[in-house]
Amino acid sequence: MKEEYIIGIDIGGTHFRIGAVTGAHHVKCFRKVKADTVLVTDDVLADLKRYLADYMSLPELKGNIRAIAIGFPATVDRARKVVLQAPNLSYMENLPVVDYLQEHLGIPVFIERDVCMTLFYDMHTYQIPECEILAGCYFGTGIGNAICINGRPLLGRDGAAGELGHIAVPGSQEKCGCGLVGCMENLAGGKYLSRLCREVYTHTEIGDIFTEHGEEQLLRDFVDRIAITVAAEINILNPDYMIVGGGVINMKDFPKDLLVKKIHEHTRKPYPEQSLNLLLAEDEEMKSVIGAAPVSYTHLTLPTT
Ligand SMILES: [Zn+2]
């Protein structure tokens, strides 16, 4: 029998990652392409369609593609058909991605918040057993948050559950890409580190920031804000497992021990602190591509191995 694939795509601000994922989570034909080489006109959907049609016609894949699953760094409507708003990508507003691509490509298309795909990947990779509540917080450029209840992503009334990065920090006047002022993700995400390098540590490359300045108060406070964000989620949900990941916590010399200590400090005693299952996830370039497969299986009910 021919192997079938799910095409997984991770839409990022600067790069798109795409791959053909098997039921056993192997990836074929992985590509990382610059977003501006795909989006070449004002018509985002037409550009995406053209790129996908080219990819689907690769000789190794042709005729064996079961579905397409796309992860967006954006809020997505409850029906998982329309991309609503992306804090960092202004061209991604109110895009009817699913209807458009299904009509033009003639194949099932699923969309999800990219962070849900990342959480599905980690669930599989770290062999997290079925449980009632699994939560993930990912600290990259911004803060990604996904919550799974009994194996399914928590959607919320409008599809907009899990926007932990947009809780307000008292006193902060910083404008966020979401339209609010003072959001945590501007103070506990990679954007803050970029700002520190621009304004304070002007001779430091961002990749060396923890190596050169990790002991200084500015960065210890930054780690504390990450911990406060994670602990807020733990205190609300009392999850079976709490996964923390993303590019920031996987930077060179990031003080993971301090982060774990601070998360425990900010978590309510005796519970949920005493029984906390905290897992720090490593970064993997293909996370959201591979995690796209389970999102599709949920809809297609394919066997997963
Ligand atoms: Zn915000």
Q: What is the pLDDT of residues 113-138, one digit of tens each?
A: 999 999 999 999 999 999 999 999 99
Strand-pairing partners, residue 21, are 6, 27
In a domain, 235, yes or no: yes
Residue 3 pLDDT level (bands cut at 50, 70, 90): confident
| One domain for residues 48 and 106 | yes
Centre of ligand 1 from the C-alpha of residue 83, in Å: 17
Q: How far is the CA of 181 from the centre of ligand 1 (A)?
A: 7
The reply to whether 142 and 105 lie within a common domain is no
Closest CA to 255 of 215, 202, 217: 215
| CB-facing half-sphere around the CA of 107: CA atoms within 13 A | 17
Q: Do 163 and 86 belong together in one domain?
A: no
Domain contains 122: no
* Domain assignment of residue 248, yes or no: yes
The two counts, helices (H) then strands (E), for the chain are 10, 12
Q: CB–CB of 192/146 below 8 Å?
A: no
Tell me the CA–centroid distance for residue 70 and ligand 1, in Å.
23
Residue 30 to residue 27: CA distance in whole angstroms: 7
Please indicate, yes or no, whether residues 96 and 13 belong to a single structural domain of this protein.
Answer: yes
Domain-embedded: residue 71: yes
Same-domain pairing of 43 and 148: no
Same domain, 275 and 291: no
How much is the pLDDT for 88?
75
Please answer whether residues 292 and 13 qualify as being in contact, where contact means their C-beta atoms are separated by less than 8 angstroms. Answer: no
The CB density around residue 169, as the number of other CB atoms within 10 Å, is 18
47 and 108 belong to one structural domain? yes
Distance from Cα 206 to the centre of ligand 1, integer Å: 23
Expressed in angstroms and rounded, the spacing between residue 54 Cα and the centre of ligand 1 is: 35
Q: Does residue 241 lie in a domain region?
A: yes
Q: What is the pLDDT of residue 103?
A: 97
Sequence letter at residue 232: A
| Average pLDDT taken over every residue of the chain | 94
Coil, strand or helix: which one is 300?
helix
Rounded average pLDDT over 131-152: 95
| Helix segments in 169-249, DSSP class H | 190-199, 209-213, 217-237
Q: What is the CATH number of the domain that holds 11?
A: 3.30.420.40
CA dist., res. 225 & res. 212, Å (int): 20
Tell me the residue range of the domain where 98 lies. 5-116+286-300
Q: What is the pLDDT of residue 1?
A: 61
Q: How far apart are CA 105 and CA 64, in angstroms?
A: 14
Neighbours of 236 (CB within 10 A): 12
Please compute the mean of the pLDDT values over residues 156-173 and round it to a whole number.
95
Domain annotation covers residue 246: yes
pLDDT in tens, 188-233: 999 999 999 999 999 999 999 999 999 999 999 999 999 999 999 9
Report how far ligand 1's centroid is from the alpha carbon of 142 (Å): 9
Distance (angstroms) between ligand 1 centre and the Cα of 174 equals: 9
The beta strand positions in 24-104, using DSSP E, are 27-34, 65-72, 75-76, 83-85
pLDDT digits over 247-282, tens only? 999 999 999 999 999 999 999 999 999 999 999 999
Q: How many domains does the chain divide into? A: 2
